[in-house]
Amino acid sequence: MSLLANLSDLLSAYIASSIQPFGGVDPHVDWRDAFLMLLSPLFFAVVVAEWLRMRGEKRQGKRVYDWRDSLDSMVLGGVYTWVDVVLVLVFVLPAMNWLYAHHRLASIELTPLSFAALYLGVEFCYYWFHRASHRIRWFWCAHVVHHGSEHMNFTAAMRQSWLYSFAGNWLFYLPMVWIGFEPKAVLLALSFNLAYQFFVHTQWVGKLHPLIELVFNTPSHHRAHHGRNERYIDKNYGGTLIVFDRLFGTFVEETEAVDYGLVRQVHTHNPLWLTLHEWVAMFRDVMRPGPLGLRLKHIWAPPEWERPGTQAADNRAHASESAPRPHDPAHP
Ligand SMILES: [Zn+2]
Ligand SMILES: [Zn+2]
């Protein structure tokens, strides 16, 4: 308890003092975003180190670093951090606190052991959040932003949707609050998990020790996750660990060279369109005439799902992952 409580208090005090000049939103700190903001100097230092090392390098004819692409990612990430703070403070944290206050099953004290259990639980929730984000169109509308880069480097980690909280990513962590972990502890565990994930977005390292590759999400596993090669689509959803992918049949080994990006790549540098394009595509699909049940199915069906019948031919523009690639010679 004491170690974590002290860490919590320390972080809380630090965050409170650092955001005071901006109007001071404390005491209801959004732990997840705050922790990531605190780490951003480290993230930028790592980006600079990687850029110095990899800027001249190409992989499969494509540059590892493209300044315009990295700028897109950093604009999306920078705005995301601030937008998400507001959304979390305004409705996510209150919802979590309400659930914790009125419906929790138990009160779990934070000890190093219980925090480890919480971390594992959050990882499990993250796995299902991430899997749902690839297999349910509604959640894909937000998550697609993260997959929008055709380059793989640390800046790709910063590419986040401004609408994650709106889409409901936080719903996946409610079970941890419900069983009795304090919301701020859940968000802190999640922020540790997300901070870890920053470091798997790189081509700087190859494969690590087999035991590490067996248990943890590594750069190799996550490079495969970002691939649009048929082999890599909708695989390796883990955050810190890869064990749930192995357990639930979504693991794939990085074997062939990874082709990064979306099956239907979106070519724009407009951050607003990068954020909204899939929402607009889904909305257009829902608005197309037809039976109500089929129209609404666009919201929860997988991204590549198309209505049966002739209209399917109209529905080719959106960026779904599993549809045939336009430049794939096997699917002209
Ligand atoms: Zn993903
Ligand atoms: Zn990623």
For residues 119-138, average pLDDT:
98
pLDDT computed for residue 9 by the predictor: 54
Distance (angstroms) between ligand 2 centre and the Cα of 156 equals 7
A 10 A CB-CB count for 308 gives: 7
pLDDT at 327 exceeding the cut of 80: no
CA distances from 187 to 63, 216, 237 (A): 36, 21, 19
**Cβ neighbours of residue 142 under 8 Å, at least 6 residues apart?**
133, 161, 163, 164, 166, 167, 169
For residues 43-72, average pLDDT:
91
* φ, ψ of residue 113 in degrees (nearest 5): -70, -45
Report which of residues 30 and 277 the model is more confident about.
277
> What is d(CA 277, CA 144) in angstroms, rounded to the nearest whole number?
9
For residues 75-95, average pLDDT:
93
Ligand nearest to the CA of 143: 1
Distance (angstroms) between ligand 1 centre and the Cα of 235 equals 8
Task: Give the containing element (helix H, strand E) for 44.
Answer: helix 31-54
For residues 71-98, average pLDDT:
94
pLDDT computed for residue 7 by the predictor: 46
> What percent of the chain shows pLDDT beyond 70?
84
What contacts 24+ positions apart, CB below 8 Å, involve 37-44? 37/81, 38/11, 38/14, 39/195, 39/198, 40/81, 43/154, 43/157, 43/158, 43/198
For residues 208-217, average pLDDT:
98
**Torsion over CA: 204, 206, 210, 213 (sign):** positive
What is the rounded average pLDDT for all residues in the chain? 87
> What is d(CA 103, CA 101) in angstroms, rounded to the nearest whole number?
6
Distance (angstroms) between ligand 2 centre and the Cα of 265 equals 16
Each residue's pLDDT tens digit, 148-186: 999 999 999 999 999 999 999 999 999 999 999 999 999
Distance (angstroms) between ligand 2 centre and the Cα of 222 equals 6
For residues 100-116, average pLDDT:
97
Distance (angstroms) between ligand 2 centre and the Cα of 239 equals 9
CA-closest candidate to residue 86, choices 75, 76, 94, 74: 94
pLDDT at 13 exceeding the cut of 80: no
pLDDT at 135 exceeding the cut of 90: yes
Ligand nearest to the CA of 236: 1
pLDDT computed for residue 322 by the predictor: 43
Q: DSSP per residue over 121-179, as a string?
A: HHHHHHHHHHHHHHHSHHHHHHHGGGG--SS-SGGGGG---TTHHHHTGGGGGHHHHHH
Distance (angstroms) between ligand 2 centre and the Cα of 99 equals 30
> What is d(CA 106, CA 117) in angstroms, rounded to the nearest whole number?
15
Distance (angstroms) between ligand 1 centre and the Cα of 158 equals 13
* φ, ψ of residue 320 in degrees (nearest 5): -95, 155
pLDDT at 19 exceeding the cut of 80: no
Distance (angstroms) between ligand 2 centre and the Cα of 149 equals 10
pLDDT band at 60 (very low <50, low <70, confident <90, very high): confident
Distance (angstroms) between ligand 2 centre and the Cα of 201 equals 6
Each residue's pLDDT tens digit, 276-321: 999 999 999 999 999 999 999 999 999 999 988 744 444 444 444 4
Ligand nearest to the CA of 222: 2
**Torsion over CA: 146, 273, 280, 151 (sign):** negative
Contact 208, 193 (CB under 8 A): no
Distance (angstroms) between ligand 1 centre and the Cα of 13 equals 34
> What is d(CA 173, CA 111) in angstroms, rounded to the nearest whole number?
20
Distance (angstroms) between ligand 2 centre and the Cα of 95 equals 27
Ligand nearest to the CA of 142: 1
Distance (angstroms) between ligand 1 centre and the Cα of 143 equals 7
For residues 316-327, average pLDDT:
42
**Cβ neighbours of residue 240 under 8 Å, at least 6 residues apart?**
119, 123, 193, 196, 197, 216, 217
Greatest CA separation for the chain:
64
Distance (angstroms) between ligand 2 centre and the Cα of 258 equals 13
pLDDT computed for residue 324 by the predictor: 43
Distance (angstroms) between ligand 2 centre and the Cα of 202 equals 10
pLDDT at 216 exceeding the cut of 60: yes
> What is d(CA 281, CA 318) in angstroms, rounded to the nearest whole number?
6
pLDDT computed for residue 331 by the predictor: 38
Distance (angstroms) between ligand 2 centre and the Cα of 112 equals 28
> What is d(CA 284, CA 316) in angstroms, rounded to the nearest whole number?
12
Ligand nearest to the CA of 237: 1
pLDDT computed for residue 45 by the predictor: 94
Ligand nearest to the CA of 157: 2
Distance (angstroms) between ligand 1 centre and the Cα of 315 equals 22
